[in-house]
Amino acid sequence: MDMTNIINQMLILFLMIVVGYITGRCNVFDEDSNKVMSRVVIYVANPALMLNTVTSGQITGTKLHTLYVIGVGTLYFILVPIFVKVIIHVVPFFKKERSVYEAMLIFTNLGFMGIPVINAIYGAGAIFYLGIFFIPFNLLVYTYGVLLLSNETAGGKMDLKKAINPVSVAAVITMVLYFLDIKTPGVVNETVSILGSITTPLAMVTIGSNLALVPLKHVFFDWRMYAFAVIKMIALPLLAFFVFRFVVKDAVLLGIIMIVTAMPTASNITLLCNELGSDGALVAKGTFIGTIASLASIPLLVGMLL
């Protein structure tokens, strides 16, 4: 990896977010259009980009190694909630709204921001690895995530059907195509490639447009957000890196683990807060600070891997 290239890639992503922020402030995009663009990214672009890793023949490595990645992904979503549980009980300011903070730390933005960032740093082949992470991620969000956020309202119920969504379905299809060596027609491959190519610009512009809707004075004057950002964007990713380096020898996979941990809070958590009546404003502030901080923290963390 070339650090200059990584910084340039993150700067490109940042400028796309700036474009989205400016268009949001100028009312080119509003809350309704942001929802539409988000659906396009989640339901069309992200699944297409994931499928493209197989249809384009960009996957390297053996099938045995892929099974190993599946095991690592499962282990990740067992250990990280344990790490977070310890942090939540050690850091004093997490005492209030503890469950919401716990959900914000565990569930990172794998799809909306994770896919374009991993694609920018490691290339399209790494998206296949990330796709494997979506299966345990979705299961955990709609089980343990619902339980955590229900602690704030005592009213939520688990809905495992929500774990079945376009991204998790695409992840399964991608692995079926890969393990069974199924070849798809050229016209399908080209279509998937074109649809997947819109993921990064549309996702970044939408993030920027969403940030334009957050009252900045309520974010920047809340000292808890800065403490949260340090833990979320630096401390937790470093902890994951130092633990997983003893079991993960694949440098790309280890880098993905650290970068995934350093992603801002998942949009799923905001949606669940709205549904369960938890503190959605707190999640919005944490997501805003995390998104801004990631522009500096991710290149810094990736620099450790060089």
pLDDT class of 224 with cuts at 50, 70, 90:
confident
Average pLDDT, the chain: 82
> Would you say the pTM of this structure is higher than 0.85?
no
> Quick one: pLDDT at residue 154?
46
Dist CA 95 CA 203 (whole Å): 33
Dist CA 73 CA 117 (whole Å): 18
Residue by residue, DSSP assigns 130-193 as: HHHHHHHHHHHIIIIIHHHHHHHHS-----GGGG--HHHHHHHHHHHHHHTTPPPPHHHHHHHH
pLDDT of 138 over the 70 cut: yes
pLDDT of 261 over the 90 cut: yes
Write the pLDDT tens digit of every residue in 97-125. Answer: 888 899 999 998 887 778 888 888 888 77
pLDDT class of 278 with cuts at 50, 70, 90:
low
> Quick one: pLDDT at residue 225?
86
> Quick one: pLDDT at residue 158?
54
> Quick one: pLDDT at residue 58?
65
Q: In the predicted model, what is the mean pLDDT of residues 226-252? A: 91
Dist CA 46 CA 127 (whole Å): 10
Return the percentage of the chain with pLDDT > 90, whole number.
Answer: 17
> Quick one: pLDDT at residue 195?
92
- Architecture in CATH for domain 3-303: Up-down Bundle (1.20)
pLDDT class of 18 with cuts at 50, 70, 90:
confident
Residue by residue, DSSP assigns 248-304 as: ---HHHHHHHHHHHTSPBPHHHHHHHHHHT--HHHHHHHHHHHHHHHHHHHHHHHHT
Instruction: Provide the residue ranges of all domains of the chain, joining segments of one domain with +.
Output: 3-303
241-245, Cβ contacts within 8 angstroms, sequence gap of 24 or more = 241/301, 241/304, 243/79, 243/83, 244/72, 244/76
Taking the alpha carbons at both ends of the chain, their separation in whole angstroms is: 6
pLDDT of 242 over the 70 cut: yes
Lowest mean pLDDT among 26-30, 284-288, 293-297: 284-288
> Quick one: pLDDT at residue 97?
81
> Quick one: pLDDT at residue 106?
93
